[in-house]
Each structure stands twice: as C-alpha cells, then as structure tokens.
Amino acid sequence: MKISNGVDQIKSKIDILSLVSSYIKLDKAGASWKGKCPFHNEKTPSFFVSPARESYYCFGCGASGDIFTFVEEFEGLDFKGALKLLADKAGVTLEVYSKEMQEAKENKSEKEKLYTAIEEATKFFENNLKENKNAQEYLKSRGLTEKSIKDFRIGFALLDWHRLYDYLKSKNFSDNEIERAGLAKKSDNDAEKLNKRMYDRFRGRIMFPISDSSGRVIAFSGRILVDDGPLRHGSSEASKSAKYLNSPETLIFNKSSVLFGIDKAKDAIRKNNFSILVEGQMDLILSHQAGYKNTVATSGTALSDSTISKENVISNLGLIRRLSSNIVLAFDADSAGANATIKAGKIALSLGMDVKVVDMPDGIDPADLITQNNSIAGSDAWRLAIKNSKHIIEFLLDKVLKNFKNDTRKIGMEIKEKILPFVNVLESSIEKMYFIKKISDASSIPQNALQDDLKKIEQELKYETEETKTAKENVEKKLRKDPIERRLFGIAFWQESLKSRTIEPELIFTKLHKAKEAFLDMKEDLIYEAEIFYLNSENLQKDVNEMLLSIEEEYLNEELVKTMIDFRNLKDKKLEVEILKKIDKINKRKEEIKNSR
C-alpha cells in the first residue's frame, strides 16, 4: 500500500462535515455550515465548514485546514497522533504507519524513538506491578478495581537504581534516548558524572502513565510507595523523597498541552457538556469508577504549577473548553487546593467558561469522599457533591460570609479583595450586574458601593487583564500559525532531501520568519507528513502558494498590532506620517491577499 493511500482511505470514510460536527454544533449556512469557533472565544459564529472544499475556515481568528489539521489543533496532537486517531475512527489499517512503528529504531525519528521508549517503560512497569503484592494491595486499599488498574495501565517502579535502565539498554536504546525520554538521569554530582552510569528516575513508586489525546503514553507521574531516602543516589543525606514525582518536559511531553485522563474523558465531556477537574490521579480514576468519566486531572501537568506562564494555563484550559465551556473544579480543601481553584477559576472565567466549584469537606479529597463508608455510599456522596457545586463567585461569597459572619466591615474588605476580581473578568455586563445584585442581597452592601469598588478593581487589575488578554491572543495566534508553518517546513525539508524537486526549498525557507534550525528536532516527522500528503499529488505547488499567502497574512496581522502599539505610544510627532504610511501599506497588502483568493 502506498503511503498516500492511507490518507485517501481515511478521507473517503470521514468527511470534514461529519468530523467537525462530532466535535462542535454546526448549522446550515448556504453551501457551507457554521458554528462557534473552538479555537477562540466568540459570541457570534464565524467558523465555517465547506464540504465541497473539504476544509474549514474561521473569519474571526483565521484558523483553517483539513480533517487532519482540525484534529491536531482540537485534540492537541502532532500529525502522527492525529493520523492514528483518524485511522482508528475510520477503521483504516495504516500498514506503512504500523510498519514504521516496528522498524529498527535507527530508522525512526527522534520523537518516534521516545514514544517507543516510553511504551516499553509502560509495559515494564505494568509487569512489575503484577509481581509486587505490596503495590497491588496499596491500590486495592485505595479502592481501585482490577479493571481500572488495567484500563489506566498503572504500574510499579522497583526500588532499584538501574532496573529500568538495564531493561531499556537490552532493547537497544541509547543513553541519550533514555535520558531524553525522562526515564533515567545522570548524577547531579559533577565528579561522579564521568565515572557512574545513568540511574532510574523513578524508584519505589506506583506509576501512572500520562497519555496524549490519542492514547499514546508520553510521560509518567510516580506516587511514592517505598522511600529510598538515605539511599538516594549521589547524596549522603537522609531526606524524604517527594510524594509525587513527574516526568520532566521532553520532546513529546509538554505540560501545557495535556491533562491526565484526557484521552479517556474527552467523549464523556462532549456528551455530558461539562468537565470535572480534579488534582490527583486517584481522584480521577475513582471518579471514573463512580461513573463520572468526564473527569480530568491536573496531576503531572501545568495547570496547578505556579511557575508556569498564563499562556500555558490558558492552553491547558483551552483543551477542555474546546470540548465544553462548562467546568466543575473539585480540588482539595487545603490552601494549595484553594490557590489552584482561584488561579484556574479566574482564567477559566476569562475564557468565557461557566465555572462551578465543589465544596469539599475539610481534610477530604475527592478520592476520600468516593471511598468513604463503602463504594456505593461514596459514589452517592460524590454525585451529590457535584450536583451541589456552585458558581465560583457564589462559592467564594459563601466562604466569606461564613468565615466573618457579622463583621460587616471585614466582609466588605474580603468581597472587594477576593470576589470582585472574579466579577471583573466576566465578559458580559448583564452577568456582572447579576452577581453585583447577588452579592448585595447576601451581604447587605449597597449595589452602588459594590459598583464603585468594581470600577476601582478594574483600574487596579488593568495590567493583569491586559496580560491575560495578550496571553489568550498569543495562544490563538499559535493555533492559527503553527500548523501552516509546520506543513511548509515539512515540504521544504522533504524537497531539500530529493534530487528531483518540484519546488525549490529555499523559496519557502526565505519566506518563513522562523529559522529552520528551530524545527530540526521534528524534521523527520515533518518530512513524513509532507510525503503522506504530497508524494504523488498534483496539488503541491497550489497548496504551497495558498499556505504562503496564509502565513504572510498572519505575519502582517502581527506586524499591524505592533505598529498600532507604536503609534499609540508615539512621542515624536515627526514620525506620525511615517507610521501611518506603514499601517496603510500593511492594510493594502492584506487586501491584495484577500482579493487574490
């Protein structure tokens, strides 16, 4: 079977209309269909799907592409992940893809080697668990069933410095591949680096595989079962190991683009039209056991990490928002859980999501609640907790009124400091007025006083609001631009490797703003994608021309924004005419691109 035939088979069985409408609601609009864009927050639908052209386009943010691009961006996958997901959906066996997965590892791309190493480690950990009664008993004591253990591929890392490393070496993986997969590391002691071999990153831990949206394992989160404290490698100090240890960021694991359990939860989130976000792996797995398969977890990812940028949090929450704009936060009732609720809740509101919070009892996490008394009572308690969840503003208001009771002055201060910032991020003026009235009725503070304070909050948090807005725009730009850049670089790399070329690669490289060195890590994957689409295609030149126009349009949009900012901040009036000419030139070129299509 030729490479291109696999894609042709998938396209023959999955048309773009049926695919996109399985993700978002679409309405007929002439020869096309329209809906609200999943890649940016909008009130009026500007996202169009054309069955005739087998493509989609958003007039609001510029997102465009085919079934493969849509799945890549919606699911947060690379091309091979999208190919695997669509092939499974279409019931197509990709012989070339399967063959490549089994080829000698030296013929695989760097990313493919890491996927293979992680998969081997997953199997290794699974087998370890089957032979370790203590680890099995621990999981059963936490309420996990055999089916859940199997479905989530839970494993065990032996309390040994080199067991996994030796196993992977026996499978012909190099030290560099094992280290880059985040499975082993070198000693932190410089003097020992030259003399000692690498050692396993995970030891004496229950291992929870973290998968991408297509189900490929990309990382791990390890919960300590046996502490190796005094025996820690390269350390003479007897100190306790961290309770949880997560994989480092790698070529295939980015904290901002995956949530634990997303592969198993995504269909249930779409079906039930809301997601439940918890902190830990046990919380998630037990929630799934209790019937709430629309649960995802932050564990091992960026959402609850204070060192991660707003863009990463927005990207992470954006994955959930594309599935449903309704979210229920169910974090622990401790200070860390409260902080995570505030951080995630405020940004989720700014993304236009409807945010509710589960009021967890003190000292109890979702896993405890589900397993209390017995499994049936626990499931009922969890169901009731979710049912009684409240909008985050109401939740915070109840906390303030309960904590300070009759101290009106303190209540007023707390409302201004802790609740009005959440009202401030709401997009709708009607919603803002609704919550102002609700706060006023509950606290007896006059509405006009609350509105005055809200105006002050708006000014005080102006920088934070702008920062969040910029982060949102950057994420949306990335969703629009990245797929086009990746496809163009893939075509250029592919043509560069051929003796007989259809297109001169330098013509593409010179028109892209990013240096090709930035894409060398994924070069083989990009070439693979280009071959898939264009090996025997007559549309290569046509598609390249269209993509170059699209990417130029994106670059012009970015340049226009920067120029407008320069114009607003202009101090030297002599430069005003020059900048206005530049703005006019950009707009004229954008119009030329529009008219050329």
Q: Give the number of residues written for the chain.
A: 597
Residue 499 shares a structural domain with residue 543 = yes
Tell me the CATH number at 263. Answer: 3.40.1360.10
Residue 241 shares a structural domain with residue 319 = no
Residue 354 shares a structural domain with residue 328 = yes
* 117: nearest Cα among 13, 220, 4: 220
Residue 569 shares a structural domain with residue 537 = yes
Two tokens, residue 457: 């909050």
Domain boundary residue among 102, 132, 160? Answer: 102
Contacts of residue 368, Cβ cutoff 8 Å, sequence gap at least 6 = none
Residue 331 shares a structural domain with residue 415 = no
Residue 214 shares a structural domain with residue 261 = no
> Could you tell me if residue 94 is inside a domain?
yes
> Could you tell me if residue 143 is inside a domain?
yes
> Could you tell me if residue 74 is inside a domain?
yes
Domain boundary residue among 70, 102, 134? Answer: 102
Tell me the CATH number at 192. Answer: 3.90.980.10
> Could you tell me if residue 35 is inside a domain?
yes
Q: Are 283 and 365 in contact (CB under 8 A)?
A: yes
* 149: nearest Cα among 160, 138, 158: 138
> Could you tell me if residue 468 is inside a domain?
no
Burial class (CB in 10 A: 0-12, 13-18, 19+), 387: exposed
DSSP per residue, 136-183: HHHHHHTT--HHHHHHTT-EEE-S-SSHHHHHHHHTT--HHHHHHTTS
d(CA 146, CA 149): 5
Tell me the CATH number at 97. Answer: 3.90.580.10
* 157: nearest Cα among 210, 75, 225: 225
Residue 89 shares a structural domain with residue 119 = no
Pairing of strands 199-200, 47-50: unpaired
Domain boundary residue among 102, 121, 155? Answer: 102
Does this model's pTM top 0.75?
yes
> Could you tell me if residue 470 is inside a domain?
no
> Could you tell me if residue 130 is inside a domain?
yes
> Could you tell me if residue 472 is inside a domain?
no
Residue 418 shares a structural domain with residue 326 = no
Residue 447 shares a structural domain with residue 487 = no
Q: Are 55 and 64 in contact (CB under 8 A)?
A: yes
d(CA 118, CA 173): 11
d(CA 469, CA 573): 29
> Up-side HSE of residue 594: CA atoms within 13 Å toward CB?
9
Percentages (nearest 5) of helix, strand, coil residues in the chain: 60, 10, 30
Which residue range is the domain that position 210 belongs to? Answer: 109-253
* 152: nearest Cα among 215, 85, 235, 226: 215
Residue 340 shares a structural domain with residue 368 = yes
DSSP 260: B
Count: domains in the chain: 5
pLDDT tens for each residue of the chain, 597 residues long:
344 457 778 888 999 999 999 888 899 988 889 999 888 878 788 899 999 888 888 877 778 888 998 998 888 888 888 888 898 888 887 654 444 444 433 456 788 899 999 999 999 999 999 999 999 999 999 999 999 999 999 999 999 999 999 999 999 999 999 999 999 998 766 544 545 678 999 999 999 999 988 889 999 999 999 876 545 555 444 456 788 899 999 988 987 778 899 999 999 999 999 999 998 899 999 999 999 999 999 865 656 555 556 777 777 788 888 889 999 999 987 777 788 888 889 989 988 899 999 998 888 889 999 987 555 566 888 999 999 999 999 999 999 999 898 788 999 999 999 999 999 999 889 999 999 999 999 999 999 999 999 999 999 888 888 888 777 777 777 766 777 888 899 999 999 989 889 999 999 999 998 888 888 877 888 888 888 778 777 888 888 988 898 888 888 988 888 888 888 888 777 788 889 999 999 999 988 888 876
Pairing of strands 275-278, 390-391: unpaired
> Up-side HSE of residue 131: CA atoms within 13 Å toward CB?
8
244 beta partners? 223
Residue 40 shares a structural domain with residue 114 = no
33 beta partners? 28, 49
Residue 519 shares a structural domain with residue 554 = yes
